[in-house]
Structure 1
Amino acid sequence: MLDQDPQKASLTASEFRSDWTVDEVEALLRFPLLDLVGRANEIHRRHHDAEDIQKASLLSIKTGGCPEDCAYCPQSAHHKEVDLDKEKLMNPKHVVSLAKRAQQAGAERFCMGAAWRRVRDGQEFDNVLEMVRGVNDLGMEACVTLGMLEPHQAQALAEAGLKAYNHNLDTSPEFYGEIIGTRTYQDRLETLAHCRDAGLDLCCGGIIGMGESWRDRASMLQVLAGFDPHPESVPINALIATKGTPLEHREKVQAFDLLRMVATARILMPKTRVRLSAGRSDFSAAEQALCFLAGANSVFYGDVLLTAPNAGTGDDRDMFAALGSLSAT
């Protein structure tokens, strides 16, 4: 049991830091929940409009057959029992038309994901650049997740108008080897460095519910908060235990566990967009509202997240309507 002194110190520390220790972060995660949420809400309102919740739509532009062995992912070619149809890279014009449809439904950011290990120069990458230009021309924020990439590729994406590159850490450095064996933690950090050098925003978060400890969760958040500047957006994903993957029997993440992650992320990274991401459909509107109170200010929006179900657009409209002001009667 951690003593109370580090916890009190963490809650009263200077807000903008990139030198958090894992002990400090774990102390925050273990803090009495209502006090933790209260402090997170105070910081959130200091740096954000509490009513501004960004809606980001996510599309799989190339599905399945990924050579990585990520234990959580149904798109891995290593998981032979997963029922998933492989699809080639989509046509750029079709992708842009889907982005326009998402925009009309209320999305502000359009994220495109390809199940690749790394970006390779050639026609497919040129097609992705065309997609980015098309989404940017709509006036939407364009984001992609394409695996590892080289500095010149990050620069090409930036020149095409890309706003952000998503490349998650997934978990702590200590637990990482239990989940992924085909690329290293350092590989991920190098890709993020290339993106930052090209002037791209970083969209970088992780997943809870994979069997990691609270210490692992603290360690992952400590790495994220150690970036200077902090990532512009941090997705907090709750594992979707997909049949046929090595993690198919993991229990669902509890709402209060997700709430602790969101609140702690908000305290550690005051200006970052904290995004409720995969697994959100398992939580009620009231549970999600607690996360918004604790500092979440972005959601993935739409019926599908890459290959997994998401909260329905209609349900989200009802939720956001309920969170707004009551009309006069």
Structure 2
Amino acid sequence: MIKNNWTRAEIEEIYNLPFLELVYRAATVHRQYNDPQEVQVSTLLSIKTGGCPEDCSYCSQAARYHTDVKVQKLMPLKEVLAAAERAKDAGSSRFCMGAAWREVRDNRDFDNVLEMVKGVNEMGMEVCCTLGMLTEEQANKLKNAGLYAYNHNVDTSEEHYQDVISTRTYDDRLKTIDNVRKAKISVCSGGIIGLGETDGDRVGMLMTLANMPAHPDSVPINNLVPIAGTPLGDQNPATIWDMVRTIATARILMPKSMVRLSAGRLEMSYEGQAFCFMAGANSIFSGDVLLTTPNPNEKSDKELFQILSIKPREAFKNEKQQPGVEFQMIPSAMEALG
């Protein structure tokens, strides 16, 4: 049953199920609402890198930390559109653009981002942005430019949040997500595990997401990639078992959402990733780099998809499926990954 009023006790009971029982239940829910052999492939590009005034303890792009990331201004429109074309040719159906801003400002850079959104949308790709906080008016401008989705993660539980970030509040994040929803843009919101949180914090994060007025259409589950020079540079990432458990719980709570196996995938074996897909993950990021952190290359993902008989999800599938129309398997698009 899809609902938006989960209690903490209910989520804790699910999260703490015996591991194989949890995976079995999540896999059962996944098959009720999704094609288990279909995975959405997205590409994420940093269009403006470094120099961010925020103090997110995990982030290589915060100006106050001494990392190897070099500050780069907003990329030219032609370069971004060329990157989107390459992503589409490699099999991605969604192109995500990230800028290391605290918030969107009404200036020339934002005007240029709107042109980027228009250009990618015209390619027939789902276009997503993650630009920091934004107002309802700015969200409407992005929507009018053709934006399909906006990413703004809650990161962790409300209780643990202040131990990770002090330069914006949890309510600030929820307000941006609300502005995105009001503009009728697809909400992409998830979190990161491995930030020194407890199991209770993971439950709290998932409860925040699952009890939103509508479940996020995409729920990225990231595993910390420790970056030298950041406060969490010496932190050990979460184990694969923690990732599977978090993904499985997310799938049960939010049956129709795209649960994205995101950062930290480079350190996972094929077997570990397969377990995540079994537990309900049905989306990944493709490409060598996720903003500034390493990611499996396209060749590796193509091999993994072939081993698991997975096919990429087509763009705008939700919009193409009419109510009452029986689900049909789409032809394999594996050659597109080549």
CA distance in structure 2 between the partners assigned to 1:26 and 1:302 by the alignment: 35
Q: How does 1:109-258 map to 2 (within 5 A)?
A: 109-258=94-243
Match of 2:273 among 288, 298, 315: 288
Give CA deviations for 1:193-231 in whole Å, capped at 9, x if unaligned: 000000001000000001000000000000000012100
> Counterpart of 2:252?
267
1:100 and 2:78 are equivalent in the alignment: no
Task: Measure how far apart 1:94 and its partner are.
Answer: 1.1
> Counterpart of 1:3?
none
CA distance in structure 1 between the partners assigned to 2:60 and 2:309 by the alignment: 36
Name the SS for the 1:291 alignment partner: helix
> Counterpart of 1:28?
14
CA distance in structure 2 between the partners assigned to 1:30 and 1:202 by the alignment: 28
Structure 1 moving runs of 4+ over 3 Å: none
Task: Measure how far apart 1:83 and its partner are.
Answer: 1.3
CA distance in structure 1 between the partners assigned to 2:69 and 2:35 by the alignment: 40
1:73 and 2:59 are equivalent in the alignment: yes
**Letter of the aligned partner of 1:271 in structure 2?**
K
Give CA deviations for 1:4-30 in whole Å, capped at 9, x if unaligned: xxxxxxxxxxx2111111222122111
Contact 2:26/2:249 (8 A) holds in 1: yes
CA distance in structure 2 between the partners assigned to 1:30 and 1:69 by the alignment: 32
> Counterpart of 2:330?
none
1:323 and 2:308 are equivalent in the alignment: yes
CA distance in structure 1 between the partners assigned to 2:214 and 2:136 by the alignment: 19
CA distance in structure 2 between the partners assigned to 1:115 and 1:108 by the alignment: 23
Name the SS for the 1:53 alignment partner: strand
> Counterpart of 2:289?
304
Match of 2:46 among 51, 55, 60: 60
In the superposition, the TM-score normalised over structure 2's length comes to: 0.91
CA distance in structure 2 between the partners assigned to 1:78 and 1:175 by the alignment: 21
**Letter of the aligned partner of 1:301 in structure 2?**
S
Task: Measure how far apart 1:155 and its partner are.
Answer: 0.1
CA distance in structure 1 between the partners assigned to 2:17 and 2:305 by the alignment: 29
**Letter of the aligned partner of 2:214 in structure 1?**
P
**Letter of the aligned partner of 2:22 in structure 1?**
L
**Letter of the aligned partner of 1:209 in structure 2?**
G
Name the SS for the 2:71 alignment partner: coil
Task: Measure how far apart 1:288 and its partner are.
Answer: 0.4
Contact 2:193/2:237 (8 A) holds in 1: no
Q: Which runs of 5+ in 2 are unaligned?
A: 311-338
Give CA deviations for 1:114-137 in whole Å, capped at 9, x if unaligned: 000000001100100000011101
Q: Which runs of 5+ in 1 are unaligned?
A: 1-14
CA distance in structure 1 between the partners assigned to 2:75 and 2:237 by the alignment: 32
Contact 2:135/2:176 (8 A) holds in 1: yes
Contact 2:33/2:256 (8 A) holds in 1: yes
Give CA deviations for 1:279-308 in whole Å, capped at 9, x if unaligned: 011101111011111110000111100000
CA distance in structure 1 between the partners assigned to 2:72 and 2:39 by the alignment: 32
CA distance in structure 2 between the partners assigned to 1:231 and 1:97 by the alignment: 29
Task: Measure how far apart 1:33 and its partner are.
Answer: 0.8
Contact 2:195/2:237 (8 A) holds in 1: no
Task: Measure how far apart 1:312 and its partner are.
Answer: 1.4
Name the SS for the 2:155 alignment partner: coil
Name the SS for the 1:168 alignment partner: coil
Name the SS for the 2:101 alignment partner: coil
Name the SS for the 1:107 alignment partner: coil
CA distance in structure 2 between the partners assigned to 1:102 and 1:265 by the alignment: 28
RMSD between aligned alpha carbons? 0.8
Q: Share of identical aligned residues, percent?
A: 54
Give CA deviations for 1:68-91 in whole Å, capped at 9, x if unaligned: 000000000121x21111100001
In the superposition, the TM-score normalised over structure 1's length comes to: 0.93
Task: Measure how far apart 1:252 and its partner are.
Answer: 2.4
**Letter of the aligned partner of 1:320 in structure 2?**
F
